[in-house]
Structures are given as C-alpha cells and as structure tokens.
Structure 1
Amino acid sequence: MWHLSHRRLEKGLAVSPSLLRRAAPVALSSLALLSAGVALAPTASASSHREAPLISGMPKDDATDVYAFRSPDAPDTLTILGNFIPFEDPAGGPNFYPFDDDALYNINIDNDGDGKADIVYQFEFSSSYQNPGTFLYNTGPVTSLTDPDLNFRQIYTVRRIEGGSSPRVLHRAPVAPSYVGAASMPDYASLRQQAVVPFDRSGATGTSFAGQADDPFFLDLRVFDLLYGGNLSEVGNDSLRGYNVNTLGIQVPIKDLVKDGDPVVGVWTTVTKENAKRQQVQVSRLGNPLVNEVVIPVKDKDAWNASKPQDDAQFAPYVTAPELPHLLNAVYGLPVPAEPRNDLVSVFLTGVKGLNQPAHVTPAEELRVNTSTPVAAHPDRLGVLGGDVQGFPNGRRLGDDVIDISLQAVAGELVGYPNDLGDGVDANDAGFTSSFPYVALPHSGSIPKGSDSTSVSLLTGGSGHHGGNGPGALRSAAPGLVGTAAAGLLLLGLTGTYARRRRSVTA
C-alpha cells in the first residue's frame, strides 16, 4: 500500500535542529566541487539483482547488498555484511549455492574520505567433496560442520590489507552450508552458529561469518515492468520473499577502522577474478543500495562494476540529468524537478555535514557510516527521516526501509516537499537475530518458497512481515494519493536513490 504514515523531519530529529532541511544547501556546495573536477558518483538508495549484463552471467560474484552499522549488542564494534548470489531458491539442489573458489571477495573501508580503500578484509574460498561418487550435497542428517554426512564443504581464508602492505592472514574458518531441508539439517541454527568464528591474530581481532541466509532486503522490484505496470497495478509485494542469499561479514572493533579521530568511514564490497594474464580484474562493486540498475545506462553498466569510487566523476551526468523523471512524466504525467538535480548529492555521495560526512571528503559512491552515533534504543525503519540518526543513510541496518527513505528524499523531502511515500513493503519476511551476523536463518529447501512462517524482528523490534501486500493494499489507498506516491517512487529509481549490486578494489 502507498501509505501516508505522517512522519516529518521535525519529528524527533536529534542531529541538529534542522539538519536535513540544511542538507540541500550542503548538496549544492558539494555539486560545486564537481565543476572543479572533483570525483562524483551516481546517487542511489535501494537495491535489486542482476544489474549489469556481464555480472548477471556470474551469479556467484554478484553482490546484492551492503550493510554497515554499529553493533547493537557490542557497540564498540562495527558490523559489515555483504550479500551475494541473487534469488537463491531454497530447493535449488543438488549443487545449491557455493561461494566462488576462483574469486576474491573484498570488504573495503575508506577511513579518510578520499574514495580509496585504506583497509580491505579479503575472503578467499576453497571447496571439497568428501565423497565425489555421489550426487548428494549431504549423505545423511548433518549435525555439525565436520559431520561425515556433509559431503560438500567450503572453507575460507580472511586477510586484512592496509594500504600497500602485504596481506595479513587472520584465520581460516568453515562456511555454513546451504539449508538443504529439515530432514538433512534438523538443527540448522546450530550449524550457523558453528560458522560464527572469532579471530585474534596478526594484531587484529574480530569475528567473521560466511554462509547462507534469508535475503534481508525487502522491496517491490516490479518497477522494471513499465514503472509498476504502467498503472500502479504492481505494488506492495515483497519481491524477495522466500529467497536466500550468501552472506559474508565481519564484526571488528571500531578503533581498528577509524583514522585520525574521524569517526566516519565509507564502506563498499568488490569481487575480483583472475584473467588470462593472471591479473586480478574487478567484476563487481556495491556500496549504497541500485545505482547500477537504475542510474547507469546499459552502455556503462559493466564499466561501473569495474570502476573505483575515486573515479566516479565519469558518471556524474547520469546524476545531474537522470532518466527516470522523464519516464515518470511520460508514463504518469508527473511534474518533475528541474535539472540539474543538485539536492541529493550530499546525502548519497559526500555524507551529510554534521551527520556522516568525513572531515575531508571526495564525493564518491560509498555507504558512509558515523561510527560514533549511539545505537538507537528504538530503531525507526525510516532512519534519519524518522528521527533515528543511526539509520540510513548514516550506514545501513538490516531493518532500514531504504526504498521508502530514498523515495521520500528524492520526491523532495529535503527541499520543502514533505511527503510520506512508500512501496508498501515495510519489513522483511523473516525475523533478524539479536547477535552477529544478525541476518535471519535461510529458508529451508524442504518448505515451498515463500510459505515460511514469519517471526519477530529482534534487531528492529518490529514484526517480521511485509506490510500492505497484494491488490487489496492498493485498493485501500485513496486514488489521488496512490498517483502521487507512484510518481515519487519512480522518481526514486532513476534519480539515483535505487542501488544494489556494485563492486570495487582488489588485494
């Protein structure tokens, strides 16, 4: 349902009296940097899958989302999660969904605002079969990660790379397997917990995880069918309900990430693969959630995936003169803002001054998080727009409704056009957990996709269901409001508030 929850910027905003109202002028000054040759990347804030021609043929290397937030149960640490392999059907055996043994998965951290990776946590995977003479993923019930009945196994090595220094091996750990089904894995929660492994080596401490999980992103993806069917008949359904992803993540002390007293870091993931010349080539990049899908045109999508944040000036025209507003005008007759679109630059590229902007910043597409922001006692799904300054775009938590946040911002919430737009999908279909890695357990292959019962979200405190699904939700909205909301939603998409699968950097 397109809803009017009546949330306003004035409600409980705890940054400075009119922080977000002042975001637009900040954005204008940031745009001025562009004319001076400063790097600038497309705006974005949502996510989907299969965003570029080349990466759509390499699902193991295709990033779906990045999350970065101060850990709610360990506030002296930062949790960073990267998800990969879109649309995993839980019953997709017998090979299910391994990480790519021929790729390097990188979590990149920029701690001085220059658009370059200062710290990289790199994951490398290795697969094996206990019994290659069978087609089975497991040959009986699996009760541990070393159970002889777990036929297919993966392990990974984590390295930390700082600047140009040599990689430091932190540890090797097992991957949580795909959830074949209740008969094969009667206590999957125990298997997942065995894959949460602490490390304390080479002067670095923390915890890592790699394994399957429910896809935590919630949204209606049918924007690609002529902007929700061309008549708003396709809204309010969680397109990712019942699907899994592969999650890798780290939880590390904040003091090991920040630099020179600046608490703001930028985060993004990349995947690299070796080419015929034995060189590592970047094939995937993701920071903020749908940049590549909706902002970057087809001719440049693969180039985006191979690019680095410090070089984002080449994509600037797609931000200042985006395609989507013109489509909205053509399909729905919606009046659209005049170009250039200068109002969103600071929110998505430089960080908002006084909230999550580094002391010295090069505009670049990164997920920026202020690690000094206190953990919210009562998280709001609308993040900063809902008065909760720990939420998106100040990093991204699992329960942040980045579609609605971005939609409202792109529709003018920051420049004198208050609105309460949303896609009618307000929460994930499965409950998050209260400790690292926080993502919900994967959906079981023994249960038809999408039929799992929902549960309470421990991280967000909200119900683990999606709001307003189906035609009834659309019918229940006032027609005038529906039209306005639809236009705003689509404005979100191409103006740059969508974004989900991108990559960069190598070891």
Structure 2
Amino acid sequence: MSHHLSGPNLRPPAGDARLDLTDLFAFQSPDRREHTVLIMDVNSFGFDPSAGPHPYPGAVYRLNVDTDGDNRPDVAFSFVFSEPDAQGGQKVTLYHATGEQAGEHHASGEVVVRDVDVSFGADPNIVREGWLTLSVGLRSDPFFADLEGIGNDFTWTGNDTMAGNNVISIAMEMPDRVLGDEPLIGLWGRVVVERDGRWVSVDRGAHPSLTAYFNAEDAKDAYNAGEPVDDVRKYRDTWVKVLEHTGGYTPEEAAKALEAVLPDVLRFDRSKPARYPNGRRLDDDVTDIRLQLVSNGKIQGDGIGPHTDLQPGFPYTGPPHT
C-alpha cells in the first residue's frame, strides 16, 4: 500500500500515524523549464483518526537527495513543525543542508523559510522565497489502490481504498541546479524523532509498496532505521526468496528484478520524462507495477485508476476531503 502503515503489522511507524511517510514524488515542472517538483506526503491519520492531521511537533521530516550515485545524501531538506496553537494552526520551518550536513538526521543547514503557516483548509498556502516555491498542508491523498482486494488474495472489489483520504503534503518546486549539476539524482524520505538525546529514524522509503510486500514484520523497524547504502547487502537475499515464492522466479531472475528497487532510492534522470520508476508522477499507477513485480506478471493490476482531483499547477495535489 505505497508506504502507508510501514510499521510492523500494518501499523504506522512507532505506533504514531503522524510519523508515517506515505509517498514520494519527483517530476519536471509542467510550466517552468529546468525546474523540478518534489513532493513528500506524510501522516496516515486517515487510518487512525485519533492521531489528527497535525504532523508530529519537533520530529524531522527529511527529504534526502543523492547527486553522485553513491546512495548517500548530498542535499537534504528538513521540515520541523511547531506545536499546534489554540486555534488548530501550525507552522513549519525548512532547513536546506549540503555536504556533510546532508547526512545528519537532525535538522541542519541553512534556514530557507521559518514559521510558515501549514494550510488545513481548501486553499493551499503557497510561499515563494528566492529559488523555492513551497506549500505544506492538508491535501487529498493521491495514492490509489484496491487495498481490500490485495488483502483478500487479489479478489478485486473495484473500490479505491484511498479515495476519501487526506495527507499532509509537502510540495517544493525549485531550479534543477539546486539538486546538482548532473541530471540523474536519487531520492528518499525519512522521519526522525529524538529519543534519549539521540535522533532515531522511525520511517524511511522511496519506492512505493516495498516494505509491505518484502519485509517480515519483525524486520520493518530495522529497515526504517537503516540506510539505503546498506540495502543490497542486507535485504537482497531475503527479498529474492520472497519473489521466488510469490512469482515463481528463479534466484537469478529475482535478483535481476530487484535491481529496480534495491537500494530503496528513487532514481530520477531529469533529462528524460518522469514516469515511474524514473521519478514518479502523481498519476503513475505504481500499484499495478508492484503487483506485476511480485507476481512475475501473472497479476497485471487492480483496476483502479488515478484520482480526478489532481491539479494542473502547484502544489498539484487535490484539495482536502471534508
């Protein structure tokens, strides 16, 4: 289910829906040449309404960018949210780090914007500051899938489980140069909290629907705390066995198929049109692609199409459902 509920037993990481990284998108700006759009959606409170829509105050919601292909962050954007005020408002501060600071889990680097209002109504709060266009707020969840059918041995219901859900969407648009001189970049999201004086990663991911299909329940916390640079060494052999079981792959075929998603870094060659797995657009049918992978092509898809509330301009996701 994309990256929703990526903790053990289909629960949010650390048992808190506010800390759930749900999706990551990357594509070219449709109306600004040499500009890239990055969107990181968080907070699966649609599955746990008691969590509420406000992101976790003080946690670091971090989007990492690898510019040289070594699966380590060279650029990082960190978002830190305030405590909600008495009227239900909330503010967010964005940090931009490069070099060694980009590899740290805590919020580091230059403050690009401070105390920007998070939007919780129908109209997004769009902020333009220097090279950055930013909007952070409650939006319609763009992920689409028949999760009930997937959970019922692929007996399709025709219902889009996510059709009425909302998420907190963090959308940025920036010149390509901010993300490195070369067109090929790698991306992954991470959610970090402070525990006993240490910054601990409770969720991370890039490619949709990996941990749900491939990781055993007792392995998910360690995966969320891990680093992409270690993914092939730690997970390839286990995931090969998963594909042998689910799709009838040979070990060699499974290892080759996993090259598309291990390490868990979303590659985006900005010299080519975005279409998953080269980046990811909001209307890319990643559920069908993942079903085809795990079944070795025996299951072509779930019959659910993209949402119709996507917007042609920034911040591109639809207004929140009431």
TM-score (norm: length of structure 1): 0.58
Task: Kindly name which structure, 1 or 2, has the bigger radius of gyration based on alpha carbons.
Answer: 1
Q: Is the 8 A contact 1:110 1:266 kept in 2?
A: yes
Identify the residue that residue 88 of structure 2 maps to in structure 1: 152
1:169 maps onto 2:111 in alignment: yes
Identify the residue that residue 218 of structure 1 maps to in structure 2: 144
Q: CA 1:327–1:113 in 2, change beyond 3 Å: closer, same or farther?
A: closer
Q: CA 1:420–1:123 in 2, change beyond 3 Å: closer, same or farther?
A: same
- Tell me the SS of whatever aligns to 2:212: helix
| CA-CA distance at 1:109 after TM superposition | 0.3
Separation (CA, whole Å) in 2 of partners of 1:73 and 1:366: 26
Separation (CA, whole Å) in 1 of partners of 2:15 and 2:47: 17
Q: Is the 8 A contact 2:209 2:290 kept in 1?
A: no
Identify the residue that residue 319 of structure 2 maps to in structure 1: 441
Identify the residue that residue 83 of structure 1 maps to in structure 2: 41
2:261 to 336, 344, 348: 348
The size of the alignment, in residue pairs, is: 310
- Tell me the SS of whatever aligns to 1:443: coil
- Which string of whole-angstrom CA distances, capped at 9 and with x for unpartnered residues, describes residues 183-227 of structure 1? xxxxx23xx1xx111112xxxx21111111111000111255352
1:263 maps onto 2:183 in alignment: yes
| CA-CA distance at 1:275 after TM superposition | 0.9
1:365 maps onto 2:267 in alignment: no
Q: CA 1:226–1:128 in 2, change beyond 3 Å: closer, same or farther?
A: closer
Q: Is the 8 A contact 1:159 1:168 kept in 2?
A: yes
Identify the residue that residue 196 of structure 1 maps to in structure 2: 126
Contiguous gaps of at least 5 residues in structure 1: 1-45, 131-150, 180-187, 329-335, 350-363, 375-389, 414-418, 445-507
Question: Identity across aligned pairs (percent)?
Answer: 30
Identify the residue that residue 402 of structure 1 maps to in structure 2: 286
- Which string of whole-angstrom CA distances, capped at 9 and with x for unpartnered residues, describes residues 434-473 of structure 1? 11110000101xxxxxxxxxxxxxxxxxxxxxxxxxxxxx
- Which string of whole-angstrom CA distances, capped at 9 and with x for unpartnered residues, describes residues 284-324 of structure 1? 101000111110111211000000101111111122211x6
Q: CA 1:235–1:317 in 2, change beyond 3 Å: closer, same or farther?
A: farther
Q: CA 1:258–1:122 in 2, change beyond 3 Å: closer, same or farther?
A: same
Separation (CA, whole Å) in 1 of partners of 2:161 and 2:56: 25
Separation (CA, whole Å) in 1 of partners of 2:138 and 2:29: 20
- Tell me the SS of whatever aligns to 2:251: coil
Q: Is the 8 A contact 1:127 1:152 kept in 2?
A: no
- Tell me the SS of whatever aligns to 1:120: strand
Letter in 2 for 1:159: Y
Q: Is the 8 A contact 1:106 1:271 kept in 2?
A: yes
Letter in 1 for 2:160: D
- State the Cα RMSD in Å: 2.3
Q: Is the 8 A contact 1:50 1:56 kept in 2?
A: no
Separation (CA, whole Å) in 1 of partners of 2:229 and 2:245: 29
Q: Where do residues 260-339 of structure 1 align in structure 2 (5 Å cutoff)? A: 262-276=182-196, 278-312=197-231, 313-322=233-242, 326=245, 336-339=248-251
Separation (CA, whole Å) in 2 of partners of 1:55 and 1:365: 17
1:69 maps onto 2:27 in alignment: yes
Q: Which runs of 4+ in 1 moved over 4 A?
A: 409-413
Q: Is the 8 A contact 1:237 1:424 kept in 2?
A: no
